[in-house]
Amino acid sequence: MNVNWNEITHVTKVDPAEPLPSDLEVLSGTDLVIVGGSDGVTEANTLETIRTVDAAIPETPIFQEPYRSSHVSKATVEAADRLSIAAVYNGDRSHFVGKHVDLFTEVGRKPDELLGSGLPVVGDLIASKGVDAVAELADSLLGEGYVVQHLDSAAAARAGVESTYTPEEVAGAALATEAFYGFPVFYIEYSGTYGGPTDVEAAARYLEETTLFYGGGIDSREKATEILEAGADAIVVGDCFHDDPETFRETIPDP
């Protein structure tokens, strides 16, 4: 499925380890679903979540955002529209570059295994098949440049974030994304708390080709509007999707 970034204003983050709401009709106004999490997440519950959501809203793109490569399989890659991978600017070396090179080294080393092709091929055929499989995977990959701005969050702990960025540094990371790393998404993550419009305003100034996501603590129409008016292309709503469908519905802008 083609992803039309210009049409994405509301994103729902779905944690495969959490129960889905009984009525998925609530998703009908969202523009993109991102499936991912860490504690309790497996390849199996990821795949089941992607398939259930896809059955409910088949026209809406779904990304898998894996935290471990063990959450990814040929089945999840085929079920999701993209494999989105976070690179955390203010995290440790591993979470910006180290684990990505490890992942790609692993992909390059055993592309057939990773993509589930068990054909008994040898020599040049393995080589060409392998490269094709890798190219297929590469096409579905999408990088997200993250800034994690809530120190007391699981996301910060996981990515080795020891300090948050000032608004000027957020702007610098946004500019680095736009002009240097070229990730299609720049993501300001306040994970569980509401960060307000300041960082969004700082980043939005420098983003033209890059899509700006803001996530964290959005639990009302007012907050959703404030962040979008500050220049975010889309708000990402997670917690209340699982907990409180009525509040979730309020965060979806009118069409």
- Residues engaged in binding a second copy (CB under 8 A): 85, 87, 89, 92-93, 96-97, 100-109, 127, 131, 134-135, 137-138, 141, 143, 168-169, 171-173, 175-176, 178-183, 205-206, 208
3-state secondary structure the chain: CCCCHHHCCEEEEECCCCCCCCCHHHHHHCCEEEECCCCCCCHHHHHHHHHHHHHHCCCCCEEECCCCHHHCCHHHHHHCCEEEEEEECCCCHHHHHHHHHHHHHHHHHCHHHHCCCCCCCCHHHHHHHHHHHHHHHHHHEEEEEEEECCCCCHHHHHHCCCCCCCHHHHHHHHHHHHHHHCCCEEEEECCCCCCCCHHHHHHHCCCCCCEEEEECCCCCHHHHHHHHHCCCCEEEECHHHHHCHHHHHHCCCCC
Compare residues 172 and 245 and give the one whose CB is closer to a second copy: 172
Minimum distance from CB of 89 to a second copy (Å)? 6
Compare residues 116 and 182 and give the one whose CB is closer to a second copy: 182
Minimum distance from CB of 1 to a second copy (Å)? 19
Compare residues 34 and 171 and give the one whose CB is closer to a second copy: 171
Radius of gyration of the chain (CA): 18
Minimum distance from CB of 77 to a second copy (Å)? 13
Compare residues 26 and 207 and give the one whose CB is closer to a second copy: 207
Minimum distance from CB of 146 to a second copy (Å)? 12
Compare residues 30 and 211 and give the one whose CB is closer to a second copy: 211
Minimum distance from CB of 173 to a second copy (Å)? 5
Minimum distance from CB of 119 to a second copy (Å)? 19
Pairing verdict, β 185-189 and 234-237: unpaired
Compare residues 95 and 223 and give the one whose CB is closer to a second copy: 95
Q: Given phi > 0 = left and psi -120 to 50 = alpha, else beta, which region is 8?
A: beta
Q: Are 180 and 204 in contact (CB under 8 A)?
A: no
Minimum distance from CB of 138 to a second copy (Å)? 4
Compare residues 15 and 178 and give the one whose CB is closer to a second copy: 178
